[in-house]
């Protein structure tokens, strides 16, 4: 009997250690990055010529064959209004920034961690005669308040750049600080796929880790990002899959071409490859916290935000 009890106790301890491993190790793979922003800058300083060769001036994997269709779609999805001041966070060589400045008639501040991309962007901006409407600078979007005034942007967007963040929550907080009340934060990115079949979970995590390592990425967990954003006070105005018509979709062969050219994260056996991410567009709105907006369509969220800030309900 005592032997039986002893065995049961040992089994219980082993099970607890395993559970602890699951919580600590597996949880960890989803949230921590093994690099810093400077490493991301060095990666792009080294690889931007290769990105230009394969991707051209829009460095996004999920795209249309004719990239102007992707930019037209994004212009619509972000919902710019003429004359707005917007921030392109993680701007690449300013392909999207130049397109939006020209077609949506917005003024774009653009920031990238890579000096090489800044130099190239400046040249492209000059060639396009857009010096007055696109301004680019080198910097880290984890510290936006070092470069820009608070409450100064109508819109901030991240196009396949947010996932490089070492600290997603900090980046959301910085974006919040830079947005005007009522402003829009738009993120298009890849997020860890949910394993519909439990046995695929390990494959997904392994492939996500490969992406993270190869591209200095920190593929985000959608639910965690929503939690961070809502905790900050953002209104989740939209969360959707990207609706690109099948005939326009590029099919991600561009990623394979890049992998062929550089050897980075080359997938040896496509047959067995488990595609580990989903692409989503997230649109967050910063509440107004102002009496005159009490009757807007986001009435409830605005009210809540005001309550959080000790405003009295009867003031509405
Ligand atoms: C995949 S590229 C996307 C570029 C661009 N959005 C486009 O659509 O062409 C990722 C971009 O994010 C930028 N980035 C990554 N981490 C950053 C950081 N901490 N601060 C600023 N930019 C960053 C990179 O320098 C690069 O320009």
pLDDT digits over 117-159, tens only? 999 999 999 999 999 999 999 999 999 999 999 999 999 999 9
Question: How would residue 265 be classed by pLDDT, with cut points 50, 70 and 90?
Answer: confident
Q: Are 316 and 292 in contact (CB under 8 A)?
A: no
Same domain, 99 and 230: yes
DSSP notation for 127-174: HTT-TTTEEEEE--GGGGGGTS-TT-EEEEEEES-GGG-S-HHHHHHH
- Ligand 1 center–CA 296 separation, angstroms: 34
**Segment 68-111, tens digit of pLDDT:** 999 999 999 999 999 999 999 999 999 999 999 999 999 999 99
Question: How would residue 246 be classed by pLDDT, with cut points 50, 70 and 90?
Answer: very high
Structure tokens at 120: 């190239």
C-alpha 161/C-alpha 213 separation (Å) is 15
Question: How would residue 4 be classed by pLDDT, with cut points 50, 70 and 90?
Answer: confident
Q: What is the pLDDT of residue 215?
A: 95
Same domain, 147 and 258: yes
For residue 217, pLDDT beyond 90:
yes
Residue 283 has φ and ψ, to the nearest 5°, of -120, 120
Same domain, 176 and 97: yes
Same domain, 194 and 231: yes
Q: Which of 38, 86, 87, 91 to mutate to test the pocket of ligand 1 (most atoms within 8 A of CB)?
A: 91
- Give the atom of ligand 1 at the shortest distance from the alpha carbon of 58: 9
3-class state of residue 233 by DSSP: coil
Same domain, 232 and 126: yes
In DSSP terms, 282 is beta-bridged to: 187, 239
Domain count, the chain: 3
User: Residue 88: left (phi > 0), alpha (psi -120 to 50), or beta?
Assistant: beta
Same domain, 273 and 294: no
Of 134, 119, 137, whose CA–CA distance to 45 is shortest? 119
116 lines ligand 1 (CB under 6 A): no
Same domain, 102 and 210: yes
User: Residue 70: left (phi > 0), alpha (psi -120 to 50), or beta?
Assistant: alpha
Q: Which of 78, 113, 168 to mutate to test the pocket of ligand 1 (most atoms within 8 A of CB)?
A: 113
- Give the atom of ligand 1 at the shortest distance from the alpha carbon of 141: 20
For residue 259, pLDDT beyond 60:
yes
Same domain, 180 and 264: yes
Question: How would residue 295 be classed by pLDDT, with cut points 50, 70 and 90?
Answer: low
C-alpha pair distances (Å), 273 with each of 136, 270, 280, 288: 38, 5, 21, 46
47 lines ligand 1 (CB under 6 A): no
**Segment 188-213, tens digit of pLDDT:** 999 999 998 999 999 999 999 999 99
- Ligand 1 center–CA 260 separation, angstroms: 22
Q: Helix, strand, coil % (nearest 5) of the chain?
A: 50, 20, 30
- As a whole number, mean pLDDT of residues 265-277 equals 85
166 lines ligand 1 (CB under 6 A): no
First to last CA, the chain: 70
The CA dihedral of 17, 20, 26, 28, to the nearest 10 degrees, is -130
C-alpha 146/C-alpha 162 separation (Å) is 18
Query: Domain of 4?
Result: 1-31
* CATH at 198: 3.40.50.150
Query: pLDDT over 70 for what percent of the chain?
Result: 89
- As a whole number, mean pLDDT of residues 27-51 equals 83
- Ligand 1 center–CA 193 separation, angstroms: 22
C-alpha pair distances (Å), 192 with each of 53, 152, 280: 28, 32, 11
Same domain, 201 and 314: no
Same domain, 242 and 122: yes
Q: Going by CA atoms, what residue is nearest to atom 4 of ligand 1?
A: 92
Mean pLDDT (the chain) is 89
Q: What is the number of residues in the chain?
A: 316
Q: What angle do CA 120, 279, 71 make, to 5 degrees?
A: 45
3-class state of residue 298 by DSSP: coil
96 lines ligand 1 (CB under 6 A): yes
Residue 192 has φ and ψ, to the nearest 5°, of -55, 130
Q: Which of 40, 175, 188 to mutate to test the pocket of ligand 1 (most atoms within 8 A of CB)?
A: 40
60 lines ligand 1 (CB under 6 A): yes
Same domain, 141 and 195: yes
Same domain, 266 and 234: yes
């Amino acid at each position: 009997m005592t032997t039986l009890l002893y065995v049961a106790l040992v089994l219980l301890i082993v099970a607890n250690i395993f559970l602890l491993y699951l919580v600590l190790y597996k949880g960890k793979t989803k949230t921590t990055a093994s690099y810093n922003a400077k490493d991301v800058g060095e990666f792009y300083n080294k690889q931007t010529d290769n990105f230009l060769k394969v991707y051209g001036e829009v460095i996004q994997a999920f795209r249309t064959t004719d990239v102007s269709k992707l930019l037209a779609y994004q212009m619509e999805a972000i919902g710019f209004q003429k004359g707005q001041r917007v921030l392109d966070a993680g701007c690449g060589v300013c392909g999207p920034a130049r397109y939006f400045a020209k077609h949506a008639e917005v003024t774009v501040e653009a920031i990238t961690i890579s000096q090489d991309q800044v130099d190239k962007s400046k040249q492209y901006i000059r060639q396009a005669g857009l010096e007055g409407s696109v301004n680019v600078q080198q910097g880290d979007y984890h510290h936006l308040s070092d470069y820009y005034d608070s409450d100064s942007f109508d819109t901030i967007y991240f196009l396949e750049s947010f996932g490089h963040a070492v600290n997603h929550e900090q980046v959301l907080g910085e974006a919040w600080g830079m947005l005007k009340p009522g402003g829009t934060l738009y993120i298009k990115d890849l997020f860890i796929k949910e394993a519909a079949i439990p046995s695929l979970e390990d494959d997904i995590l392994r492939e996500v880790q490969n992406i993270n390592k190869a591209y200095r990425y920190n593929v985000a967990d959608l639910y965690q990002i929503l939690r961070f954003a809502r905790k900050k006070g953002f209104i989740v105005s939209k969360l959707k899959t990207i609706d690109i018509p099948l005939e326009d979709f590029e099919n991600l062969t561009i990623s394979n071409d890049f992998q062929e050219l550089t050897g980075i994260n080359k997938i040896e056996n496509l047959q067995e490859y488990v595609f580990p991410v989903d692409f989503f567009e997230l649109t967050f709105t910063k509440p107004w916290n102002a009496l005159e907006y009490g009757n807007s369509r986001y009435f409830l969220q605005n009210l809540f935000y005001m309550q959080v800030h000790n405003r009295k309900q009867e003031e509405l």
